[in-house]
Structure 1
Amino acid sequence: MDLRAIGMGLAFALMWSSAFTSTHIIVAQAPPLASLSFRFLISGVLGIVLALALGQSWRLSRAQWRATILFGICQNALYLGFNWVAMTTVAASVAAIIASTMPLIVGALGWIVFRERLSPLGLFGLIAGFAGVAIIMGARLQGGVDPHGLMLCVFGALALAVATLTVRGASSGGGGVLMVVGLQMLIGAAVLAVASGLAETISVDVTPKLATAFIYTILVPGLAATWIWFQLVGRIGAVRAATFHFLTPVFGVAIAAVVLGESLDWHDALGVAVIAGGILAVQLSKQKVVR
């Protein structure tokens, strides 16, 4: 892995992790599902326009359409929908920590349900990662964290993990990466618009802070981080690129503390370190299996 790949991985992790803080700002002043639907509508249209400009087509293979619809629902509507609603009552750092366990959940489900090979290092990583979550959440629950919001974060991570394990061969066929991402966003926007119409009353407190957070969320973690991710995967492969996910809990908690002033204690620091180590161990074990 060269220096450029390391720089791209660090940039991706930082951008991706910052979304929890900007989201927390948005949902404090606007309904979460409607806001997320609007975000995906804008991002999806931009993505498709750019894809068409690059000569990409929306004539996808059947496997790609299946993956696009599944990910549009599971990742954009369920995973992020649950997280955006959860962050109306829980801290951004809590949402970041739970979301960061997705690679651990994928590893555990792959091992238990799909009988995928797991090395001793990978098993150690799973145990350590979930132990780190227990350290943080035990202290947070005693401190009064909203259990309903916490469960929504867990449901979101599970939805994304199941989608990740279910979709196979989604990269084959026609179309292109940017087109697939744009279509996924439009599918998520449609599902979230229906959910918002059924569950929310639209009331928005428009402020410069809200506008800045919304634009930032669309451009940086939404489009820029996605573009960097696919460039990184093309450079070093998906397995190695996924190693940078171990930084998500570290950056997510740190950014929330700096920007939002969320308090941290030794339980958080210890738990984040253990989770990051567990994710890293799981990803490194996958690299050894691939070789």
Structure 2
Amino acid sequence: MKTTTRPIDAAALAIMFGLCTIWGGQQVAVKLAVTVVPPVLQAGLRSLIASVLVGGWMLWRRQKLVTGDGTLPAGILAGVLFSLEFLCIFIGLTHTTASRMAVFLYSAPCFTAIGLHWTVPSERLRPMQWLGMVVAFCGIVVAFSDGSSSNLAKTWPGDLLGILAGVFWGMTTVVVRASRLANAAASKTLLYQLAVSAVLLCTLAVVTGNVHIGAMTPTTWVSLVYQSVGVAFASYLIWFWMLTRYSAARLASFSFLSPLFGVTFGVLILGESVGWRFAAAVVLVLSGISLVNRRR
């Protein structure tokens, strides 16, 4: 299995900036639709629509949907972890704000770095890079430290689910990088996760009786299209393609930008508020990313 990866270059920087912008709006989009489409069903429909799109993309590119390349076990495992991640996110957003969810969810790079440090030799980080991860995570904490603790009694279930979602996201990335999926096509890696999560989440929604959809509004339609086409299809396809070419731990460090975009979108769209610490958090996050991505 190939374990060498390219250093982060200008193209990777530009792509990750765009992806983080898209991901930053994800929690806001879920929050906008959660009162109309139940959270578990919404997560399942999102994966179902995106899996159809990815399957169509693969057929158009004459890629085989099923091959005997030995990726099936890792693909199913990644799909289960992916399902658990979004189950935590969607249910968690019914208990906490979009901004808080973004903060806790993007603890994932820390779990990714820890997992890859012990499973993939080429992904091991030096002390200075670990320091960068700590600095960046501190930046996220600072970004939402102004007044958020006042609602802790109400939001702690959602906050805990956000942290669990980050753990599952980190585990998914480790599975992708440390298994045969590292050499599989990005579209196939994504299809495993979307298809498995579509089946599991839609089944869970039916079993629990959370399948009632309210009156659809233009905002709800835009939210579902954004989640399924923009995030789950396009952005994830690009993300898994990036994972096969660049250091996963260093790519994951850029995810710290997403909660900053998430907080910004929360302020602009949902009317959530943040304090002056946000500017200081930007400096900390960018400094941490700089340390993590220092060339060896």
TM bin (shorter chain):
0.7 to 0.9
**Counterpart mapping for 1:1-291 below 5 A:** 4-61=11-68, 63-75=70-82, 77-110=83-116, 117-135=124-142, 136=144, 139-144=147-152, 146-167=155-176, 168-171=178-181, 176-205=185-214, 206-230=216-240, 232=242, 238=248, 241-271=251-281, 273-282=283-292, 284=293, 287-288=295-296
Q: Quote the offset at 1:155 in angstroms.
A: 0.8
Cα distance, 1:61–1:239 mapped onto 2, change above 3 Å: farther
Asked if the contact 2:140/2:285 (under 8 Å) is kept, the reply is yes
Q: Quote the offset at 1:198 in angstroms.
A: 3.5
- Larger CA deviation: 252-261 vs 133-142: 133-142
Cα distance, 1:113–1:273 mapped onto 2, change above 3 Å: farther
RMSD: 3.0
Identity %, equivalent residues:
23
Cα distance, 1:157–1:18 mapped onto 2, change above 3 Å: same
Distance 1:67 1:224 in 2: 22
Q: Quote the offset at 1:241 in angstroms.
A: 4.3
Q: Quote the offset at 1:126 in angstroms.
A: 3.3
Q: Quote the offset at 1:13 in angstroms.
A: 1.7
Asked if the contact 1:64/1:173 (under 8 Å) is kept, the reply is no
2:4 matched residue in structure 1: none
Distance 2:282 2:9 in 1: 26
The letter of the residue matching 2:190 is V
Cα distance, 1:128–1:239 mapped onto 2, change above 3 Å: closer
Distance 1:91 1:59 in 2: 40
Tell me how many residue pairs correspond in the alignment.
284
Cα distance, 1:195–1:281 mapped onto 2, change above 3 Å: farther
* 1:70-110 superposed Cα distances (whole Å, 9 cap, x missing partner): 111112x1111101111112111111112222112222455
The letter of the residue matching 1:224 is A
* 1:213-260 superposed Cα distances (whole Å, 9 cap, x missing partner): 111211211222124335656776656644532321221211221122
SS in 1 for 2:180: coil
Q: Quote the offset at 1:147 in angstroms.
A: 0.4
SS in 1 for 2:71: helix
- So what's the TM-score if we normalise by structure 1? 0.83
